[in-house]
Amino acid sequence: MHPMMFAMAAMLAAAPLCARAEVSAAQACSQFGQAGMRECLVKKHADSAAALKAAEASMAAAVARWDEGRRYVKAAQTRLSAANAAFSTFSRANCAFDRALGGGAAGNALENRRLACGADMNNRRADELKRMAGAVPAQ
């Protein structure tokens, strides 16, 4: 293993996966009434999706300019694509599960749970990708 890769792997393993200083989407939007909360969560979800897309692109760019042999770059690109797809699938399933835990809640409560879950998961993944992209040594 390349010495820089070992150092990067050790750093990533030591960092908490979901460390965030921000409040959850549900907490941030809880100051509004039902209609206002829904609008806030829709916006938070859309903003988080855009942040995730930008972080995925940034990670892909970091891998493309990685100071490593071409075969390793290609392998990382393939695995990044697979990880992105797996995250998307997991996030949808996890937030559907979270929504189901709302039981027979009335009004927008179930959809609000799904939106808040999606926003929070997207933001955590975006943060993780940004941190990882910053640790990839460029050529």
pLDDT digits (tens, 9 = 90+) for 54-80: 999 999 999 999 999 999 999 999 999
CA 100 centroid distance within chain: 21
Return the domain boundaries, the chain. 35-134
Percent helix, strand, coil in the chain, to 5, is: 75, 0, 25
Give me the pLDDT at residue 34, please: 80
Q: Is the pLDDT of residue 107 over 80?
A: no
Q: Is the pLDDT of residue 92 over 80?
A: yes
* pLDDT at residue 9 greater than cutoff 70: no
Q: What per-residue confidence (pLDDT) applies to 134?
A: 94
| Spatial distance between the Cα atoms of 64 and 62, rounded to a whole number of angstroms | 5
The fold adopted by the segment(s) 35-134 is: Substrate Binding Domain Of Dnak; Chain:A; Domain 2 (1.20.1270)
Confidence of residue 5 (pLDDT cuts 50, 70, 90): very low
Q: Mean pLDDT over residues 4-33, rounded?
A: 58
pLDDT above 90 covers a percentage of the chain that reads 76
Write out pLDDT tens, residues 30-60. Answer: 998 888 999 999 999 999 999 999 999 999 9
Return d(Cα 29, Cα 25) in angstroms, integer: 6
Residue with tokens 């990382």: 76
Task: Flag the least confident range among 17-21, 68-72, 106-110, 118-122.
Answer: 17-21
Helix axes 109-134, 70-100, angle to 10 degrees: 160
Task: Give the mean model confidence (pLDDT) for residues 15-20.
Answer: 38
